[in-house]
Amino acid sequence: MKKSVVVLGTQWGDEGKGKIVDLLTERADAVVRYQGGHNAGHTLIINEQKTVLHLIPSGILRDGVKCYIGNGVVIEPTALIKEIKNLEASGVDVQSRLYISKAAPVIMPYHIKLDQLRELKKGKQAIGTTGRGIGPAYEDKVARRGIRIGDLLDPELLKDKLTQVLAYHNFVIEHFHQAEPLAFDEVYQTALQQADFLRGMCSDVTGQLHQHLANEDRLLMEGAQGTLLDIDHGTYPFVTSSNTTSGSAATGSGLGATQIDYVLGITKAYTTRVGGGPFPTELFDDDGAELAKRGVEFGATTGRPRRCGWLDLVALKRAVQVNGVTGLCVTKLDVLDTFETIKMCTSYGDQAFPESAQEWAQVKPIYEEFAGWQSSTKGLTEMADLPASAKALIAHIEQFTGAPVHMISTGPDRCENILLVDPMQ
């Protein structure tokens, strides 16, 4: 039996992790978010009802499952409180099941302002961030001047820290960006009110997770974004500001690296990306438009249209390696149902694996073509029912990446899956 299972994205995010986490939580005792922030948008469709979660682990929709936000997550209190209240308004019990690490950095209003001002200044070179203050909050963490959730709970300590850090950021806002500085009192009073709301949910998450392990409970570690947005292994600088790869399931929660039993890598059957940056297999033709339309490819957080392209097996293989993927889950296979021919990139020619945005931009993808099946796979739950050419496509993904496909998702609903190997068993 697996005690801790990591679910993460192998592309540029939006691979459909939320649905898979929700599915697997049926057999989990606790679900943990360990990196990223409310830049993530995890869409769940249950009985045709859509819920988008940004910060709260996807396990929240299963009664009795405990949900943890680990130290590696950057938390914007306004967004978190809104999400809690929205879920509670629709009858989900949140406050008795959600635990927030006191060591998690807080996204403060100046982080959001700086994120947006910087993007404006960059103009055409903008990263296309979600504008939520994620990068500046992680910078403050690494610079050792960040405010953590635990600091919010101590008014005097908060006053001290905020006085110093706000003076620093206001200087940059005023003199580098020529924008309005933030007023201390407003930021401070808001933070105190938020702290009152969150206080009862704040705890030693690492300690609780180890207690779960001692009880032989099962943990599901829910990644956000995807491998190619990783601050080290992604298409730098067009990346997010956290490690999205499997190592951060340990550092962002306090589990030991040896306590992770299984890594499930989620990949779409094609590729999408939101925001700027290189994307070798991007399509600008009718096939791209068809993927966008059939896949309903709009960002869950910002509503921006996603760029679409063919599956990139070279990048996927690298993602399998850097994450130590145990098994893959291929999502949105049904989106390919109408295509006569399906392509997958199987080589970057004689170019070495790119290590900078410039090298990524030079990639000339070489494709292999596969026959489409042109019949509906929507909602299929048995491998035996898949058309032969869909089976061949899956077999090629396995053979190229060296990772077995353990799950296939054939539609947005919780029940539309082919489960070949249960990651939780």
Task: By CB under 6 A, tell whether 267 contacts ligand IMP.
Answer: no
Q: Characterize the bridge pairing of strands 98-101 and 66-69.
A: parallel
- C-beta of 334: minimal distance to ligand IMP in Å? 21
User: What's the distance, CA 300 to chain centroid?
Assistant: 11
Residue 58: partners with Cβ closer than 8 Å, 6 or more residues away: 17, 18, 21, 22, 25, 31, 42, 44, 222
Q: Which residues pair with 205 in a beta bridge?
A: none
Task: Tell me: cis bond preceding 77? Omega within 30 of 0 counts.
Answer: no
Question: Between 107 and 205, whose beta carbon lies closer to ligand IMP?
Answer: 107
- C-beta of 421: minimal distance to ligand IMP in Å? 26
- C-beta of 55: minimal distance to ligand IMP in Å? 11
Q: Which residues pair with 120 in a beta bridge?
A: none
Question: Between 341 and 356, whose beta carbon lies closer to ligand IMP?
Answer: 356
Helix (H, G, I), strand (E, B) or coil at 122: helix
**CA distance to 382, 392, 394, per residue, from 387 (Å):** 11, 9, 11
Task: By CB under 6 A, tell whether 134 contacts ligand IMP.
Answer: yes
Task: Determine the residue type at 137.
Answer: A
* Whole-angstrom distance, CA of residue 36 vs CA of residue 223: 8
**Enzyme catalytic residues:** 14, 42
Q: Considering only the stretches 183-191, 237-245, 290-298, 370-378, report the one whose residues sit in contact with ligand IMP under the rule CB under 6 A.
A: 237-245
Task: By CB under 6 A, tell whether 405 contacts ligand IMP.
Answer: no
Selection from 79, 98, 118, 111 nearest residue 32 by Cα: 98
* Whole-angstrom distance, CA of residue 243 vs CA of residue 4: 19
Task: By CB under 6 A, tell whether 44 contacts ligand IMP.
Answer: no
Question: Between 66 and 268, whose beta carbon lies closer to ligand IMP?
Answer: 268
Using a 10 angstrom Cβ sphere, with 0-12 exposed, 13-18 middle and 19 or more buried, the burial of residue 50 is exposed
- C-beta of 2: minimal distance to ligand IMP in Å? 25
CB 412, CB 332: distance < 8 Å? no
Task: By CB under 6 A, tell whether 132 contacts ligand IMP.
Answer: yes
Task: By CB under 6 A, tell whether 11 contacts ligand IMP.
Answer: no
Q: Considering only the stretches 7-15, 45-53, 195-203, 259-267, report the one whose residues sit in contact with ligand IMP under the rule CB under 6 A.
A: 7-15
Q: Using CB under 6 A, pick the residue from 16, 18, 41, 105 that binds ligand IMP.
A: 41
Q: Using CB under 6 A, pick the residue from 31, 229, 328, 386 that binds ligand IMP.
A: 229
Q: Considering only the stretches 95-103, 193-201, 221-229, 315-323, report the one whose residues sit in contact with ligand IMP under the rule CB under 6 A.
A: 221-229
Question: Between 194 and 240, whose beta carbon lies closer to ligand IMP?
Answer: 240
Q: Using CB under 6 A, pick the residue from 55, 75, 166, 274 that binds ligand IMP.
A: 274
* Whole-angstrom distance, CA of residue 74 vs CA of residue 104: 6
Task: Determine the residue type at 161.
Answer: K
- C-beta of 414: minimal distance to ligand IMP in Å? 20
- Both tokens assigned to 173: 């806002």
Question: Between 128 and 372, whose beta carbon lies closer to ligand IMP?
Answer: 128
| Position with the least CB separation from ligand IMP | 275
Q: What is the DSSP string of 256-313?
A: -GGG--EEEEEEESSEEE-SSS--TTB--SHHHHHHHHHTT-B-TTT-PBPEEE-EEH
> What residues numbered 283-342 form the site for ligand IMP, per CB under 6 A?
none
Task: By CB under 6 A, tell whether 240 contacts ligand IMP.
Answer: yes
Question: Between 135 and 280, whose beta carbon lies closer to ligand IMP?
Answer: 135
**CA distance to 209, 228, 358, per residue, from 34 (Å):** 12, 17, 30
Task: By CB under 6 A, tell whether 224 contacts ligand IMP.
Answer: yes
Task: By CB under 6 A, tell whether 43 contacts ligand IMP.
Answer: no
Task: By CB under 6 A, tell whether 417 contacts ligand IMP.
Answer: no
Q: Using CB under 6 A, pick the residue from 94, 103, 128, 367 that binds ligand IMP.
A: 128
Q: Using CB under 6 A, pick the residue from 275, 280, 295, 423 that binds ligand IMP.
A: 275
Task: By CB under 6 A, tell whether 401 contacts ligand IMP.
Answer: no
Selection from 227, 222, 262, 185 nearest residue 33 by Cα: 222
DSSP state of 337: G
For the chain, the C-alpha Rg in angstroms (whole number) is 21
Task: By CB under 6 A, tell whether 10 contacts ligand IMP.
Answer: no
Task: By CB under 6 A, tell whether 40 contacts ligand IMP.
Answer: yes
Interface ranges with ligand IMP (CB under 6 A): 12-14, 39-41, 127-130, 132, 134-135, 224-225, 229, 238, 240-241, 274-275
